[in-house]
C-alpha cells in the first residue's frame, strides 16, 4: 500500500464529512459559514453558496475516495478514511460552536 493512497483516504473522509453540514443547511434554506463568507468561516453564506460548496466537496471527496481505493479489501484504507471523518468532525464541532446563530 502506497503512502499517497492513505493520504487520499484521509482527505476523502474529511471532504465527504464536510458535505453534510453545508448541504443540509443549504437545501433547508439556512445560512451557514463557508470559506467564502466575510470573515471566512465565521460570517454567514447564502444557502445557494452552501449547496455549491457541498457539491464541490462531494466531487473532490469522491475523486479522493476512488484514488485512495477505500472500497478495496484493505482494512487500513478504511480505517484511515474513518480517521479523516473523525478529525474533521471534531474540528468542525469546535469551530462552529463559536459561530453566532
Structural domain harbouring 92 = 3-97
pLDDT of residue 95: 83
**Res 12 pLDDT > 80:** yes
The number of domains in the chain is 1
**In a 3-state reduction of DSSP, which class is residue 32?**
strand
Measured between alpha carbons, how far is 8 from 1 in angstroms, rounded to an integer? Answer: 12
Helices (H), 1-101: 3-27, 47-67, 75-97
pLDDT tens-digit profile of 19-64? Answer: 999 999 999 999 999 999 888 878 899 999 999 999 999 999 999 9
pTM listed for this prediction: 0.89
Percentage of the chain beyond pLDDT 70 is: 96
Amino acid at each position: 500500500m502506497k503512502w499517497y493512497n492513505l493520504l487520499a483516504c484521509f482527505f476523502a473522509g474529511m471532504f465527504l464529512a464536510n458535505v453534510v453540514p453545508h448541504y443540509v443547511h443549504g437545501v433547508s434554506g439556512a445560512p451557514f459559514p463557508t470559506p467564502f463568507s466575510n470573515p471566512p468561516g465565521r460570517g454567514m453564506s447564502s444557502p445557494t453558496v452552501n449547496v455549491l460548496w457541498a457539491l464541490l466537496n462531494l466531487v473532490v471527496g469522491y475523486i479522493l475516495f476512488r484514488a485512495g481505493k477505500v472500497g478495496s479489501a484493505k482494512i487500513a484504507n478504511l480505517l484511515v478514511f474513518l480517521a479523516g471523518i473523525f478529525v474533521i468532525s471534531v474540528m468542525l464541532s469546535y469551530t462552529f460552536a463559536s459561530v453566532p446563530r
